[in-house]
Chains A and B, each alone.
Chain A
Amino acid sequence: MITADVYKKAAEGDFDAIEKICLDTWEPLYRFIYYKVQNREEAEDITQETYVKTLKYFHKDKFPQENFLGFLKTVSLNVIRDRWRQKQRRGVSVNLQEINPQEVASDDKQSDIAQRLVLKNALAKLSEEQRIIIDLRIIRGYSVAETAKLVGKTESAVRTAQYRALKTLAQILDDSTERQIGQKRRENIEQ
């Protein structure tokens, strides 16, 4: 349990308080971020940036004790959005004043489950060869060279096949009425 006193001390830079907050909450926050960015390097950076931004924002007696993790997740979404926009050379800074600590991504679990089902259904609609290539390259993480060896194709044929497979998959997901879930998730990040 993190008390108001711990938040206050953390905001003042007290190491023990910051350590307690980080150790108690880092994993669900990191998993949430990883889910969005899908790589460890970026997830580690964003997790760190989220804590720094959140703790710097805390003023005296203004701590979201009710749902601190929810607040962190919302800040992290802003950080992700900000970073991605910077990459698009359209820098927009995060406005923490706009965050409502009560309005958090608490329905993640349900939409994650539904999204998995939608994805699995979409993958099942690909041709067998496309499914194998997506599985080897993205799920199992093989390189193009290894995948080429496994499926008996040239590297350039693997790149073309994965491009076509992903294009088809994106189309299937677009056509799916349940695509709304994926759409909602994308809007969360891109709006």
Chain B
Amino acid sequence: MSNKNIEEKLSDYIDALNNEHEPEFAVTDSDEELEKLQETVRLVRTLKEPVLPDDDYPKRLAKTVASKIQRGKETGLGKPTKTLSKSIKRILLPMTALAASLLIVVLVNWLGLFNQDVVYAMEKAVAQLSSYHGVLEMRTKNAAGEEWLVRRAEIWSESDKYAIKHDDGTLTVNNGQRKWQVNHENKEVVLLPILPDPTGSSFDLRDEAKRAKQYPHTVIGTELVAGREAIKLAISPPGGEEYYLWVDTETNLPIQLETAMQKALQTTYTFVSFEPNTKIPPEIFAYQVPEGYAVVEKDPGQQVATIEEAAAISGFMPLLPEQAPLRIIAFKDRIVLDYGDTTVMEIIPKGEFKPAPNASLGSAAGGPLEIWYERLRWRQEGLEIQVEGDKRIELAREIAAGLALPDANQDLASKAKVKVPVNMEIVEASQKQVDSGSSPWQLDPLQVSLTFVNLKVTPEGIQGEPQIPMSSFKLVTNNSVEAVVEVEDGPVERVYLKRLVRQDETGIWTVVGYDPR
């Protein structure tokens, strides 16, 4: 077989897998090389997440299996039968292909071919970006239009290594093997855990290129950013606020990001200087303790290859999701599984499980599940598990199969025996107050209930310690929209609350009803 043939066959094989189809390959004894290369392709693909079937697949599967078993019983057990789905596929596959091509046409028109070119060029540039050195400025603007410099950092980045030097001279380095911080003021080098790593730059070039490709976007025009000509793109994540990204016309790399106005604040990240694909001196990522500096170890953890090694270090066996993590980091008291955009952390818990006051509650492994921003936390089989990141629900369900998220359509408030009238103008003004940083207690349904009930006891105002103490209040439901708090003593038995303005962790709670005792 000539190389040209094998190249084409291999390419067809990759295409079939990319399209999630069964590859047509009739391998003969002389195709050993092709077989080996196909195996290598499959191996590389294991780095990707598997593509799951449609939602109705499990039901369809049960139906087909049942009909085959029943038919098998009629015709005698054990006889092989032909796979039913093949005949269905003959009809379904062309339909799926037609649907897919229609989708492509719609997407191309929607995104606009010109936009695609900008984004393609950016993706190409980012894919080819092996390293960079730059100075990133983070500026914040409030709703009144006042702007200030929050921080300025010098960044060196090369594959998974990075070094960030802040304004105050503090240097944080993660060289893939270890992470540390050099603090010149205290003359110390602090060894930090590699994961979870909250330090990384908030303006990650790769992530931005990925998002720009994924979400609908339009070209706004060309502007000068830090003296460079850049194309301004407006990006609209579904269900989210529009934000802007500027792409350098010379290097095709993103150089500025402006977030949407959130909590009355808007942040702009700008690379005021940027050198892509530059040679970074190896000493930048080399771990060196300056003379006279003390080394402070804060259980930095260590990367291990197997779960058994992790268990030997931490002293317990973690519960594992089905998917294999990219990295396992073991600490004396915890194990962290790294899935790229999501981390799973497991510890042996101490004391009672206390969900964050403004978290919503679901259930997992027969107990409460805390849902707080992008984090899920619960206890199972003597361990406390915390899953944070994009794939949190998927991974958490792989550990706790019956994990249930709260149902926001319960209409709990209608059960209240006494309804409390609400003045929306006051509620909206209170929400704005909280957004600007004052009265944060309104984000906690327990605190709001405490104030409400104690004002019922002492209508003239709460002086000193409240008569009904906080220990009498217990959050029984919080589905992120509504909450119910039970009170042990006093004139009120149950308080019903709602997030009337915003139904996320930043929304304030308002009492809408109660059950008298």
Contacts and interface: CB of A to CB of B under 8 A. Distances in A.
Interface of A: 10-15, 18-19, 22-23, 26-28, 30-31, 34-45, 47-49, 51-52, 55-57, 87-89, 93, 109-110, 112-117, 119-120, 123, 128, 132, 134-139, 141-144, 149-152, 159-160, 162-163, 166-167, 169-170, 173, 182, 186
A11 B72 CA distance: 10
B68 interface: yes
B37 A163 contact: yes
Contacts of A120: 47, 326
Contacts of B89: 41
B23 A48 contact: no
A191 B355 CA distance: 51
Majority secondary structure, A binding face? helix
Nearest to A50: B65
Given A18-B66, A27-B322, A113-B307, 13 more contacts: A15-B62, A27-B58, A39-B22, A43-B53, A57-B78, A87-B27, A88-B27, A89-B26, A135-B127, A137-B18, A138-B14, A144-B11, A160-B3
Contacts of A141: 18
B324 A116 contact: yes
B50 A43 contact: yes
A140 to B, nearest CB: 9
Interface centre among A40, A149, A150 (most CB of B within 10 A): A40
B305 interface: yes
A147 B23 CA distance: 20
Contacts of A134: 44
A168 B122 CA distance: 28
Interface residues of B, number: 76
Given A15-B62, A48-B65, A56-B77, A162 B50 contact: no
Residue of A11, A35, A138, A142 with highest tally of chain B CB at under 10 A = A138
A130 B205 CA distance: 21
Nearest to B18: A141
A55 B14 CA distance: 34
Contacts of B308: 110
A2 B208 CA distance: 46
Given A31-B322, A39-B16, A114 B120 contact: no
Interface string B253-268: 0000000000000000
Contacts of B43: 115, 119, 173, 182
Contacts of A132: 127-128
Most buried by B among A44, A57, A142: A44
A39 B52 CA distance: 10
B142 to A, nearest CB: 39
B117 to A, nearest CB: 10
B507 to A, nearest CB: 34
A45 B62 contact: no
Interface in B40-72: 40-48, 50-53, 57-59, 61-66, 68-70, 72
A134 B41 CA distance: 9
Contacts of A112: 46, 324
A26 B44 contact: no
A11 B306 CA distance: 38
Interface string B294-337: 00000000000111100000000000101111101000000000
Contacts of B44: 119, 123, 134, 138-139, 166, 169
Contacts, number: 204
B337 to A, nearest CB: 9
Interface in B361-395: none
Contact of B325 (A48, A113, A160): A113
Contacts of A144: 11, 15
Nearest to A178: B305
A34 B328 CA distance: 23
B7 interface: yes
Given A52-B69, A132-B128, A163-B7, A113 B306 contact: yes
B10 A40 contact: no
B45 A138 contact: yes
A82 to B, nearest CB: 10
B11 A159 contact: yes
12 contacts: A14-B66, A28-B322, A31-B322, A35-B46, A41-B21, A52-B68, A57-B78, A87-B25, A115-B324, A116-B47, A160-B7, A163-B10
B81 interface: yes
A95 to B, nearest CB: 12
A162 B44 CA distance: 12
A69 to B, nearest CB: 10
Contact of B37 (A35, A47, A49, A166): A166
Contacts of B6: 163
A143 B127 CA distance: 16
Contact of B61 (A28, A47, A87, A186): A47
Nearest to A33: B50
